Amino acid sequence: MMHTVHSYIRLFCIIWINISTITALNPIIIKGQKLFDSITKDQFFIKGVSYQPSGANQTIQDPLANADACARDAPLIKELGANVIRVYEVDASQNHDACMKVLEEHGLYLVLDIGTSTSFIHREHPAYDVPIYNAYRSVVASFVTYPHVLAFIAGNEVSNDNATTQAATYVKAVIRDMKMLMRQNKSRAVPVGYASNDDPSIRESIKDFFVCGDDEDSQADFFGVNLYEWCGGSNFDTSGYADRTREFEAYGKPVFLSEYGCNLARPRAFDEVEAIFGPRMTPVWSGGVAYEWTQEKNDYGLVKIVDGQVQPMKDYENLKQRLTVVDPKGIHMDEYNAQPTSRQCPPITESWKASTILPPTPSEGACRCMKENLSCVSSDAVVLSTSNATVGAQIDIMCGLVDCGEIREEREKYGIFSSCSPADKLSRLYHLYVAGSNNSAQCDFNGYARPALPTRNNMALCSLIKPDIKGVPSMSTITTSSSILTVLSIVLVYTIRL
Ligand SMILES: *[C@@H]1O[C@H](CO)[C@@H](O)[C@H](O)[C@H]1NC(C)=O
Ligand SMILES: *[C@@H]1O[C@H](CO)[C@@H](O)[C@H](O)[C@H]1NC(C)=O
Ligand SMILES: *[C@@H]1O[C@H](CO)[C@@H](O)[C@H](O)[C@H]1NC(C)=O
Ligand SMILES: *[C@@H]1O[C@H](CO)[C@@H](O)[C@H](O)[C@H]1NC(C)=O
Ligand SMILES: *[C@@H]1O[C@H](CO)[C@@H](O)[C@H](O)[C@H]1NC(C)=O
Ligand SMILES: *[C@@H]1O[C@H](CO)[C@@H](O)[C@H](O)[C@H]1NC(C)=O
């Protein structure tokens, strides 16, 4: 009996495997420093092309919402010899089914940057708050279900020189939270990583920073380098590729060229392709992404779009000649012994200042709870103008008048409401000022504030409310009774401990 059941299961598995290999691209998984097809267990090499045709005027450019353009371009990208596209920005509110289907039909995996031009970690003024967190996670949520999403990139060239290294701490928090989100939600664990520029003064530290520390959760699953060192008639040794390869030899996690294709000599010959997929680089790297599909102002195009039609340029033909003949030799997953590696975090120096103490996961519930206790809050006048300096300027003014410890972060100490939205932070400051002023201050502040009726009378436990991964704010059902709140909070805290 047991035997029969087993046979059935086996038969079922074989059929399922066959169906899945025919109708869908198999998810790509990571073992040690390499990528593998999760079903065939063959090593996978990224033969990618950046895909971000500039659209009309919208603030967020979403090439994967343009079904016509996807249908037009996918066959040509396949013909180029590519198996991956890298997209830098999407709009999570759009439907992506049509484009994702076309990509799948043409054997194209997706590497997706999950920040957008409106929600991202700012390299000079890094902050990680509820609106930014929600934006990242809505992108992850809308793509995690496609099996041919190869990877999420949590940041592209965010810390790009020795003056912007502190922002890396925030990107690492995004990585931690997106990995946690997928795990808690029992989604497929799409790898989450980082794409770096190639700045000599931080190159060594940044590659270590993203994979360092004891907390596996906050480590990047892979590291990409946007590498433009090989220009014109260069070669593996003189270009710098040999040095870069040596640096990543025992990295322990997959690395790939998240962009390549120096354009100082045009048309580009793409001589580097032979090296990227050749025997000196494939033991270390998992391929690369040529920059970029369409001709834009910066002159890196493979094709021109004229009146909606594609015109392949010489660069397209040259890259195609290279990409269609390379045949990287990989290893079978079962034969590959991944060595466990652990890496020390880079020390803080003059040129590297990224702390390993990460900001907390932003909690919408905690901020809502806090706001419910306020009798003076920011008005629509500031809420509506978050895109200009009003909120920031008001926060600066108020921080001169009341204690800002709760909303600020100073020297690696993150205030309990430091990840609330700017408008919520400002509300807290207005309230503190009015409440602490012997009843003399008006809740107005040139119209930026308005009185509110508190629905809560105790915010001691607000900051303990954890983010709700299902997107349902955890505090929405709580009434004004503080005893209910207390009971609930205790339950919450208890659950958190568990
Ligand atoms: C783009 O924006 C500019 C300025 O805001 C406007 O004049 C122009 O009509 C817009 N173009 C399109 C295609 O929407
Ligand atoms: C959580 O799982 C649901 C159901 O599978 C899925 O639709 C949603 O996108 C997932 N969200 C995240 C953030 O993984
Ligand atoms: C920072 O980078 C600049 C430009 O690359 C370099 O000149 C300078 O020496 C670097 N400073 C430190 C402290 O590494
Ligand atoms: C900034 O916000 C204020 C208040 O809403 C608005 O009146 C003003 O026009 C905005 N300024 C800019 C440059 O958008
Ligand atoms: C509030 O009033 C008390 C007593 O009159 C005074 O000592 C204190 O300085 C006042 N505080 C503020 C913020 O005005
Ligand atoms: C919460 O609200 C109550 C009632 O308005 C007030 O007494 C209390 O001081 C507030 N708590 C904080 C921390 O502001």
Picking from 284, 310, 335, the residue at the C-terminal end of a domain is: 335
105 has catalytic annotation: no
Say yes or no: 80 and 209 in one domain.
Answer: yes
Nearest alpha carbon, ligand 4 atom 13: 388
Q: What is the mean pLDDT of residues 461-488?
A: 52
334 close to ligand 3 (CB < 6 Angstrom): no
57 close to ligand 1 (CB < 6 Angstrom): yes
352 inside domain: no
Nearest alpha carbon, ligand 5 atom 10: 438
Say yes or no: 100 and 179 in one domain.
Answer: yes
Q: Let me know: does 286 contact 254? Beta carbons within 8 Å.
A: yes
20 inside domain: no
Say yes or no: 221 and 115 in one domain.
Answer: yes
454 close to ligand 6 (CB < 6 Angstrom): yes
CATH of the domain at 176: 3.20.20.80
Q: What is the rounded distance in angstroms from the CA atom of residue 390 to the CA atom of residue 277?
A: 51
Picking from 335, 362, 392, the residue at the C-terminal end of a domain is: 335
Per DSSP, the three-state class of 36 is strand
Q: Let me know: does 141 contact 105? Beta carbons within 8 Å.
A: no
pLDDT in tens, 351-399: 999 999 999 999 999 999 999 999 999 999 987 765 556 898 999 999 9
Burial of 331 (0-12, 13-18, 19+ CB in 10 A): middle
Nearest alpha carbon, ligand 3 atom 1: 162
123 CA from centroid of ligand 2 (Å): 29
Q: What's the pLDDT band for 470 if we cut at 50, 70, 90?
A: low
Say yes or no: 271 and 383 in one domain.
Answer: no
- With both helix axes pointing from N to C terminus, report the angle between 364-372 and 422-435 in degrees, rounded to the nearest 10: 30
Q: What's the pLDDT band for 440 if we cut at 50, 70, 90?
A: confident
State residue 473's pLDDT score: 33
Residue at token pair 């955890």: 474
CATH of the domain at 388: 1.20.58.1040
476 inside domain: no
Ligand 6 atom nearest the C-alpha of 460 is: 13
Say yes or no: 273 and 405 in one domain.
Answer: no
Biggest distance spanned by C-alpha atoms of the chain: 84
State residue 390's pLDDT score: 85
Say yes or no: 54 and 169 in one domain.
Answer: yes
Residue 12 has pLDDT above 70, yes or no: no
User: Which domain covers residue 269, as residue numbers?
Assistant: 25-335
Say yes or no: 397 and 330 in one domain.
Answer: no
Burial of 336 (0-12, 13-18, 19+ CB in 10 A): middle
pLDDT in tens, 129-176: 999 999 999 999 999 999 999 999 999 999 999 999 999 999 999 999
Q: What's the pLDDT band for 16 if we cut at 50, 70, 90?
A: very low
The DSSP element (H or E) to which 226 belongs, if any, is strand 223-227
Q: What is the rounded distance in angstroms from the CA atom of residue 108 to the CA atom of residue 345?
A: 35
438 close to ligand 5 (CB < 6 Angstrom): yes
Q: What's the pLDDT band for 474 if we cut at 50, 70, 90?
A: very low
pLDDT in tens, 27-82: 999 999 999 999 999 999 999 999 999 865 557 889 999 999 999 999 999 999 99
Say yes or no: 140 and 91 in one domain.
Answer: yes
Q: Above pLDDT 90, what percent of the chain? A: 79
- Number of domains within the chain: 2
259 has catalytic annotation: yes
101 inside domain: yes
351 close to ligand 3 (CB < 6 Angstrom): yes
Catalytic one among 89, 259, 292, 372?
Answer: 259
243 inside domain: yes
Nearest alpha carbon, ligand 1 atom 3: 57
Residue 274 has pLDDT above 80, yes or no: yes
Say yes or no: 233 and 120 in one domain.
Answer: yes
Q: What is the mean pLDDT of residues 473-484?
A: 32
Say yes or no: 121 and 236 in one domain.
Answer: yes
Q: What is the mean pLDDT of residues 87-111?
A: 97
388 CA from centroid of ligand 4 (Å): 6
92 inside domain: yes
350 inside domain: no
465 inside domain: no
Nearest alpha carbon, ligand 4 atom 14: 388
Q: What is the rounded distance in angstroms from the CA atom of residue 249 to the CA atom of residue 253?
A: 10
Q: What is the rounded distance in angstroms from the CA atom of residue 456 to the CA atom of residue 480?
A: 5
Say yes or no: 284 and 216 in one domain.
Answer: yes
pLDDT in tens, 309-338: 999 999 999 999 999 999 999 999 999 999
Q: Let me know: does 478 contact 465? Beta carbons within 8 Å.
A: no
Nearest alpha carbon, ligand 5 atom 5: 438
61 CA from centroid of ligand 1 (Å): 14
Structure tokens of 93? 């509110």
Catalytic one among 89, 104, 157, 372?
Answer: 157
Kindly give the residue spans of alpha helices, DSSP state H, lying in 251-363.
272-276, 314-323
> What angle (nearest 5°) sits at the alpha carbon of residue 443, between those of residues 437 and 448?
130
203 close to ligand 3 (CB < 6 Angstrom): no
Say yes or no: 393 and 329 in one domain.
Answer: no
Q: What is the DSSP string of 95-156?
A: --HHHHHHHHHTT-EEEEE---SSSS--SSS----HHHHHHHHHHHHHHTT-TTEEEEEEEE
388 close to ligand 4 (CB < 6 Angstrom): yes
23 close to ligand 1 (CB < 6 Angstrom): no
Query: pTM here?
Result: 0.86
Query: Is there a cis peptide before residue 372, judged by omega within 30 degrees of 0?
Result: no
Ligand 2 atom nearest the C-alpha of 182 is: 14
